[in-house]
Structure 1
Amino acid sequence: MAYNGPTHRRQGIYWHGHWTPIEYPLLSSNYSYKVRDFVVEATLTETYQAQTNVERNVSYLFEIPPEASVTGFSAQIGDTRIEAIVDEKEEANAKYEEAKAAGVQAWKLDKVQEEVFEISLGNIAPNSSIMTRVTYAHLISSDTIEDSVRLTIPCGLAPHAGRPGPATYPTAPTGTAAVTITVGIHVNSTRILGLNCLSHQATINYGFSDNSFKSLSPAEMNKKFKDWKAYVEFKSKEFLRGNFVLVWAVQSMDAGRCVFEPLHPPIDGQAETTAFALTLVSNVMLDPEEHEYIFLVDRSGSMSGSRLQMAKDVVEMMLANLPTKKRSSFNIYGFNTAAKSILPNGRSVGYDKKNVFAAINRLNTWDAWGGTDINSALTTVFNQRDAAKPRCSVVVITDGLDWGVTAAMQTIQKHATAAAEQGKLLRVFVMGLGDDVSRGMCEALVRSGSGATAYISDSWMQDSDHCELKAWTMINSINRAPIRVRFIGWGMTPAESPPQASGKNMASRPRPDQSQLGPAAKGDNVPPPEAIQQAPLPGTMFWAVRSHWYAIIDGTYNTPKVKIEYEIPGGIINTIEIRHGDNSPGRLVHSLAARALIQVLEDKAISITNAGQKYENEAEIVRLGKTYSLASTQTSFVATMAGVGTQAKITSNAPPGGRTRLSSVPQGDTASDLNFVHAQFSVTAQMKLEMTMRNQVFRGESLLPLPPSPPLKITPLEMPRIGAMSLSLPLNDASSSDADSIASNDGEDDLSDLIAAQDATTGAFDPAVVERIVFRGIAGGIPAVAAAISALEVRDDDDDDVKRQVWAAICVIAFFERRHAEDSGEWFVANFKAEKFVMTSLRFGLGLDEGRAGEVFAEALDEAGGFMVGVV
Structure 2
Amino acid sequence: MENCCGLLTSQNKPVPLKSIEVELEVKDHVATVVSTLLYENKEDKPLEAVFVFPLPGDAAVCHFSAKIGQTQIVAEVKEKKEAREDYDDALSSGQQAFLLEESEQSPDIFSMSVGCLPPGESASIRLEYVTELAVQADDGLRFCLPAVLNPRYQPQGRVGSRHWKVLVTSVPASLVPYSLSFSARLSSPRPISKVESSCSLDPLQYLNTDQTQATIKLAAGHKFDRDVELLIYYKDSHQPTAVVEAGQASAKPGSLMGDPVVMVSLYPEFPQSVMSSVASCGEFVFLLDRSGSMDMQMSSANQQTRISSARDTLLLLLKSLPMGCYFNIYSFGSSYEHIFPQSVEYNQKTMEEALKKVEKMEANLGGTEILEPLQHIYRQPCIPSQPRQLFVFTDGEVENTKEVIDLVKKNSGSHRCFSFGIGEGASSALINGLAKEGGGHAQFITGTDRMQPKVMQSLRFALQPTVEDISVTWDLPKGVSVTVLSPPITALFQGQRSLVYGQLTGKSSKTPKGCVKVKYSLAGRRSKNKLYFSLKPAGDTGLTVHRLAAHTMIRTLETKEREDGGVKEKVVELSVQSGVSSSFTAFIAVNKSCSEAIQGPLVRRDVPTPVSCASYIYLDYCDYAEPDDYDYGGCLDNSYDYCDYAEPDDYENSACLNNSEDEPDYGAAPYELKCYEEKAPVPQQPHKDPLLQLISLQKASGSWLLDPALAAALGKTREEVEKSKPAQVNEEVWATILALIWLHGFKMDSKEEWELLAMKAASWLSAQNACVPECVEAGNALLGCSVQKDALGTILSTQ
Q: Is it true that 1:49 corresponds to 2:40 in the alignment?
A: yes
The answer for the alignment partner of 1:409 in structure 2 is 405
Q: Is it true that 1:128 corresponds to 2:121 in the alignment?
A: yes
AA partner of residue 165 (structure 1): V
- 2:36–2:127: 8 Å Cα contact kept in structure 1? yes
TM-fit CA distance, 1:474: 0.9
- Counterparts in 2 of 1:783-802, with a 5 A limit? none
Q: 2:431 aligns with which of 442, 448, 451?
A: 442
Q: 2:259 aligns with which of 251, 256, 273?
A: 273
> CA distance change for structure 1 residues 248 and 392 in 2, over 3 Å: closer, same or farther?
same
Deviations 1:489-527 (CA, angstroms, capped at 9, x unpaired) = 1746677x6xxxx5xxxxxxxxxxxxxxxxxxxxxxxxx
AA partner of residue 320 (structure 1): K
Deviations 1:740-793 (CA, angstroms, capped at 9, x unpaired) = xxxxxxxxxxxxxxxxxxxxxxxxxxxxxxxxxxxxxxxxxxxxxxxxxxxxxx
- 1:25–1:173: 8 Å Cα contact kept in structure 2? no
> CA distance change for structure 1 residues 469 and 121 in 2, over 3 Å: closer, same or farther?
same
CA–CA separation in structure 2 for the residues paired with 1:648 and 1:453 = 52
The answer for the alignment partner of 2:691 in structure 1 is none
TM-fit CA distance, 1:393: 0.6
> CA distance change for structure 1 residues 74 and 543 in 2, over 3 Å: closer, same or farther?
farther
TM-fit CA distance, 1:293: 0.5
TM-fit CA distance, 1:569: 3.8
Q: 2:591 aligns with which of 631, 638, 641?
A: 641
Moved more, 290-299 or 257-266: 257-266
SS state at 2:169 partner: coil
> CA distance change for structure 1 residues 567 and 445 in 2, over 3 Å: closer, same or farther?
same
SS state at 1:53 partner: coil
TM-fit CA distance, 1:487: 2.6
CA–CA separation in structure 2 for the residues paired with 1:492 and 1:78 = 52
Q: 1:560 aligns with which of 504, 509, 513?
A: 513
Q: Is it true that 1:151 corresponds to 2:151 in the alignment?
A: no
> CA distance change for structure 1 residues 103 and 335 in 2, over 3 Å: closer, same or farther?
same
TM-fit CA distance, 1:21: 10
Q: Is it true that 1:583 corresponds to 2:574 in the alignment?
A: no
TM-fit CA distance, 1:153: 1.8
Q: Is it true that 1:593 corresponds to 2:549 in the alignment?
A: yes
- 2:311–2:361: 8 Å Cα contact kept in structure 1? no
Q: 2:460 aligns with which of 472, 476, 495?
A: 476
- Counterparts in 2 of 1:143-292, with a 5 A limit? 143-145=136-138, 147-162=139-154, 165-166=166-167, 168-170=169-171, 178-188=179-189, 190-197=190-197, 199-208=198-207, 224-237=208-221, 239-268=223-252, 271=255, 272-284=258-270, 285=275, 288=279, 290-292=281-283
Q: 1:337 aligns with which of 334, 338, 363?
A: 334
SS state at 1:170 partner: strand
SS state at 1:248 partner: strand
> CA distance change for structure 1 residues 169 and 633 in 2, over 3 Å: closer, same or farther?
closer
Deviations 1:624-659 (CA, angstroms, capped at 9, x unpaired) = 21111111112211111237xxx999xxxxxxxxxx
TM-fit CA distance, 1:176: 12
SS state at 1:273 partner: coil
- Using the size of structure 1 for normalisation, the TM-score is 0.59
SS state at 1:52 partner: coil
SS state at 2:171 partner: coil
- Counterparts in 2 of 1:532-681, with a 5 A limit? 532-537=483-488, 540-542=490-492, 545-556=496-507, 559-569=512-522, 572-580=525-533, 583-584=538-539, 586-608=542-564, 614-615=565-566, 617-642=567-592
Q: Is it true that 1:489 corresponds to 2:465 in the alignment?
A: no
> CA distance change for structure 1 residues 561 and 268 in 2, over 3 Å: closer, same or farther?
closer
> CA distance change for structure 1 residues 303 and 389 in 2, over 3 Å: closer, same or farther?
farther
> CA distance change for structure 1 residues 601 and 80 in 2, over 3 Å: closer, same or farther?
same
TM-fit CA distance, 1:571: 6.0
- Using the size of structure 2 for normalisation, the TM-score is 0.65
CA–CA separation in structure 1 for the residues paired with 2:479 and 2:96 = 45
- 2:290–2:333: 8 Å Cα contact kept in structure 1? yes
AA partner of residue 273 (structure 1): D
TM-fit CA distance, 1:207: 1.9
TM-fit CA distance, 1:547: 2.3
- 1:339–1:380: 8 Å Cα contact kept in structure 2? no
CA–CA separation in structure 2 for the residues paired with 1:354 and 1:437 = 35
The answer for the alignment partner of 2:787 in structure 1 is none
AA partner of residue 336 (structure 2): A
TM-fit CA distance, 1:482: 4.2
SS state at 2:448 partner: helix
CA–CA separation in structure 2 for the residues paired with 1:437 and 1:492 = 46
- 1:104–1:640: 8 Å Cα contact kept in structure 2? yes
The answer for the alignment partner of 2:768 in structure 1 is none
Q: 1:375 aligns with which of 367, 371, 374?
A: 371
Q: 1:364 aligns with which of 347, 350, 359?
A: 359
TM-fit CA distance, 1:456: 0.9
CA–CA separation in structure 1 for the residues paired with 2:205 and 2:514 = 32
TM-fit CA distance, 1:205: 1.7
TM-fit CA distance, 1:292: 0.9
The answer for the alignment partner of 1:103 in structure 2 is 94
TM-fit CA distance, 1:540: 4.0
The answer for the alignment partner of 2:55 in structure 1 is 64
- Counterparts in 2 of 1:526-537, with a 5 A limit? 532-537=483-488
> CA distance change for structure 1 residues 93 and 555 in 2, over 3 Å: closer, same or farther?
farther
Q: Is it true that 1:348 corresponds to 2:343 in the alignment?
A: yes
TM-fit CA distance, 1:265: 3.6
- 1:348–1:386: 8 Å Cα contact kept in structure 2? no
- 1:307–1:433: 8 Å Cα contact kept in structure 2? yes
TM-fit CA distance, 1:568: 2.1
CA–CA separation in structure 1 for the residues paired with 2:7 and 2:492 = 41
Deviations 1:64-115 (CA, angstroms, capped at 9, x unpaired) = 2222211101123466441111122222222222212222111111111222
> CA distance change for structure 1 residues 490 and 59 in 2, over 3 Å: closer, same or farther?
farther
SS state at 2:507 partner: strand
- 2:417–2:438: 8 Å Cα contact kept in structure 1? yes
CA–CA separation in structure 2 for the residues paired with 1:293 and 1:24 = 49
Structure 2 residue runs of 5 or longer lacking an equivalent are 1-5, 155-159, 297-304, 597-799
TM-fit CA distance, 1:268: 4.8
SS state at 1:597 partner: helix
> CA distance change for structure 1 residues 337 and 110 in 2, over 3 Å: closer, same or farther?
same
SS state at 1:600 partner: helix
- 1:277–1:548: 8 Å Cα contact kept in structure 2? yes
Deviations 1:318-339 (CA, angstroms, capped at 9, x unpaired) = 22223x142x111111101222
> CA distance change for structure 1 residues 175 and 364 in 2, over 3 Å: closer, same or farther?
closer
Q: % of aligned pairs identical?
A: 22
Deviations 1:608-629 (CA, angstroms, capped at 9, x unpaired) = 1xxxxx33x1122122211111
Q: 2:420 aligns with which of 399, 419, 431?
A: 431
SS state at 2:283 partner: strand
